[in-house]
Chain A
Amino acid sequence: MNTQFLLQLLVNGLVVGTLYGVVAMSFVLIYKATQVVNFAQGELLLIGAWVCWTLLTKYQVPFWLGMPMTLVFMFAFGILVQVVILRPLIGEPIISVIMVTIALSAVFQAALKWIYGVNPQPFPRVFTSQSVTIGSLQIQTVYVMSLVVSVAMMIGMAWFFKVSKWGLAMRATAFNQQVAQSLGISVKTVFAMAWAISAMVSAVAGVVVAVVNGVSSGLSIYGIKVFPAVILGGLDSIGGAVVGGIIIGLLENFAQFIDSEYLHWGNLYEVAPFYVLIIILMIKPYGLFGTKDIERV
């Protein structure tokens, strides 16, 4: 039993897991507010990362300026996608909407490969010091930063929904669209805002991952890994998304530990979340914190 290795992997798991949690949170945000299952979440993350990369390397913008510019871009982009593509589909059957987001993800994926090529690009260095030592563990600075940023975003999100007027409007819309409308909330604006915020949050996660691993089209796998996380946490629970993300991240790395120590199967950590997904669908389809769908006829 290699404790050091296990500990290292668990720290990795925690970091990756909080990132999954952040992406899952933005996925749930869209699902809750607009009832759209967004298969293009990973691509939103990827677009954010590429935009930031372009600003930093092609235009030599400093990071403290490039990051807000990316966020502004993603805000506008989220609204654009919602207004142009998803608004005409309101009232269509749910499978049409799902298929549109699947097609969107294909378009974004291919367009980004077209523009930026298929090779991964290293992200410019944001931190000067490489790693910090906590106890006996060497932890990369980017990991610490990633953890801090993720937790900050989660707290920010919690504040947004609990306190701010917009957050309240969104919760009201998620609860009942007609009632929200009769209270003077513009449901159209709420839909657009949900996409805008979700795109922004995903972009932050995208930049964080890019700083750690470089930018490549492989980043969009985060959009797929979101599904085990949100199914585990419950599709319509933001807190559940965070918990689900962290559990999936830890589990992935634990699977890697088991794999490299005992089983030697190769890439077990990549598929382990999907086995978990199938098991959860079998025994507890509404997840840990999701509301059970009760239909009254």
Chain B
Amino acid sequence: MLRALRRVSDRRRQANGEYGWLFNPYTGDEMVAIDCETTGLDTRRAELVSLAAVRLKGDRVLTSQSLDLRLARPASLSGDSIRIHRLRGIDLEGGDSIEAALAKFLDFVGNRPLVGWCLEFDLAILNRYLRAHLGFELPNARVEVSQAYAKALRRSRPELIPNLRFEAVAEALEVPVMGRHTALGDAVTTALMYTRVQRGLVG
């Protein structure tokens, strides 16, 4: 409800702005799987380290059309998060500034529906940046793969209690995990999982 209201007001405000077209309904047949790596798990404080998106069309994952962005070193880059995403301060040197990254990301994603694993978290962070820099949040339709999987599994094998860990689901769907904890790798894996769930190949 709140989100809907916010979207309406965003739309109003952006109507004549640069990104007004993002609010139009999408008519194509592509989707975009996204993932980002951050410095922490607190959506109010964590900063973006890298951001990736890959397009999906039917049962193809168009890895040839993918976006993999590294951001300039955020202030809160700490040892703990480096251990997870393995991007050190050095690796982020020459990364994009946050404004440039957001611009590229919006251009790539457009108004296509978004697919993600724990999409809520990624979007919370992205929207925090978007609201601060551009004054709106992503209006795109969303597909949460873990939920889609749980739903499909409930339908096909109601007796199972789904194990919704990323690796476990990947294994259940026979999807190879590619480059875990790199933004693009996770995005591609998520995209593959989604195509599997879409075709009803659960369980």
- Do chains A and B interact in one complex? no
